[in-house]
Amino acid sequence: MASRMANREQLMQRDQVLVPSIPTLAIKGHLCFRCCKSAEKLSKCGACKRAVYCSKQCQVSDWKIGHKTQCKLLKEINAIEEKEAAPNRSWDLYRDSLYSKLQWLKSTQDVPPAVQDMIQAQVYCVVCHRSEANTGWSKFSACSSCLRVSTCQTCPAKNSHSKKVCKDNHNFNQLERFRIDCFELTGEATPSQPTQKPRSTYEPLATYDSWEKYYKDLSDGAIIDKIATTPSFSLLKPLAPDFESSVPERIRLHHILATDVMTMPITILAALEDSVPDLAKKTSLYLHFVGPTAREWRNIALFEELLHLLPALKSLRILCAGPNSYGLIGEDILSQEMDLKCCPDCQKAGRKRSMQSFRGFYHDFVQRAESAQPDMAVLFHSGRSQAEQSDWAPTTKALLDLETLILCTTYNEREAKEEIAELDGYGANVISRPEVNRWRGLMPTPDFLEGPEHSFFYMNHFRYIFQGRK
């Protein structure tokens, strides 16, 4: 059977599915760029000196599919770094330099996400913080355990990174590999694990302090108990060495990956519990998703979890509004409200859910006659605090004028603090200030350009809630 990873772009376009991004271990030179498999010998692209391949077939295929364009962009970065005077420097200086080069490249032309990943995750010396291009493409040595930390020929490899960093990197490698395995087997980059049957009684999320307890006690714990025979089921313990052949361990990893998408409905439910009195008695819920991405669109069915965990709820309506709203052509277009199929149990209980889409800016939508006040507006990872803050300003002001509950999430604490500082300047009524989200995703993603060295971020890592102005 043909490798799904080797044909990921075709699958994404044909089947409209999310596919795994190129693994960081490939960018670090340990997996083939096309099929993402390991091999005893990997050959480098002679032009960009970054992409590696297990065979001539994979190299030719990758060139036709995308590397021809990628190679040109990577060579532009290489040319800058080869001339760059980069003596021994700190992580902050290296990170800021790399960020500046990436921003320059993006300002001159369209840079595909894969190329951005290749640049920010590039091999560099963890001691002197020089890239391979900075050293004239001298040979670098990777840590034999985690493979993600490297040193150049002139720097000592011993004690170059802590045992914790090595362990965290090793665990991430295993999770990344499991995600690719999952995609190869099922065609899903991120599996989901929603509650199979609606609850008959309301149980507040607040009584469960972890995903582990959510899965075992609130959701479908019987499934876990039946398959994972070990009583020490834990989503946070280190990965077992035999995870590839252990059924209980693969079930555990499946649940870890599932939190990457399950975090969306559960983060919303937790915010509603914190902000809406008598939520358990509520019979209808109307949500606005502001600036949704493919992650929300392609997982829209998961929001039925709100119907499953709120027994009194009979109607769930979702409106997605943003310039890139899916399925619409043109600007300022509002789709018809579409009924979405519910599970058999919800259908028997008379529950309904629907979705509507607006292609355009949210601040324009709320001015339309068809606009109705939502129970909550949700912004997952809007990026308002970064270069797009001025672009978001009209929508930010519209959200404040709306005087409804607004839930926002960010990848890291810095983003959350910058966003809340902007809202404080507008006199926002902040109900819940930035805090680590208990229901963040558990799948780590390396933070190459914003956090401390060797750090990771998580989906919906931080959250805050505001409502109108003071």
- Look at residue 140 and tell me if it is in a domain: yes
- Look at residue 232 and tell me if it is in a domain: no
Statement to judge: residues 399 and 278 lie in one domain: yes
Q: Which regions in the chain score pLDDT beneath 50? A: 1, 229, 231
**DSSP β-bridge partners for residue 62:** none
Say what the pLDDT of residue 87 is: 81
Give Dmax (Cα) for the chain.
70
- Look at residue 43 and tell me if it is in a domain: yes
The CATH number of the domain where 315 resides is what?
3.40.50
| Radius of gyration from C-alpha coordinates of the chain | 23
E-strand ranges in 49-179 read 52-53, 141-142, 150-151
Q: Give the predicted TM-score (pTM) of the model.
A: 0.90
Listed residues 132, 147, 176: the one ending a domain: 176
Best CA proximity match to 127, nearest among 103, 99, 149, 104: 149
The structural domain count of the chain equals 2
Listed residues 144, 176, 208: the one ending a domain: 176
Best CA proximity match to 132, nearest among 72, 21, 51: 51
- Look at residue 153 and tell me if it is in a domain: yes
Cα dihedral 58, 135, 90, 421 sign? negative
- Look at residue 221 and tell me if it is in a domain: no
Contacts (Cβ under 8 Å, ≥6 apart) of 172? 148, 444, 446, 456
Statement to judge: residues 288 and 385 lie in one domain: yes
Statement to judge: residues 159 and 15 lie in one domain: yes
Say what the pLDDT of residue 10 is: 80
- Look at residue 64 and tell me if it is in a domain: yes
**Residue carrying structure tokens 């364009």:** 69
- Look at residue 142 and tell me if it is in a domain: yes
Statement to judge: residues 303 and 450 lie in one domain: yes
Statement to judge: residues 150 and 40 lie in one domain: yes
Say what the pLDDT of residue 15 is: 63
Statement to judge: residues 405 and 276 lie in one domain: yes
Say what the pLDDT of residue 223 is: 58
CA distance 252 to 20: 19
Helices (H) and strands (E) in the chain, counts: 16, 15
Angle between helix axes 389-402 and 413-425 (nearest 10 degrees) is 60
Statement to judge: residues 38 and 141 lie in one domain: yes
* Phi, then psi, of 316 in degrees rounded to 5: -125, 115
CA distance 93 to 298: 38
403: left (phi over 0), alpha (psi -120 to 50) or beta: left
Q: Give how far Cα 378 sits from Cα of 223, 224, 418, 467, Å.
A: 31, 31, 18, 12
Statement to judge: residues 409 and 293 lie in one domain: yes
Q: Give how far Cα 207 sits from Cα of 125, 127, 217, 283, Å.
A: 46, 46, 10, 22
Best CA proximity match to 97, nearest among 109, 111, 83: 83
Statement to judge: residues 328 and 463 lie in one domain: yes
Say what the pLDDT of residue 252 is: 81
Listed residues 146, 176, 206: the one ending a domain: 176
- Look at residue 211 and tell me if it is in a domain: no
Domain hosting 408: range is 263-469
Statement to judge: residues 269 and 172 lie in one domain: no
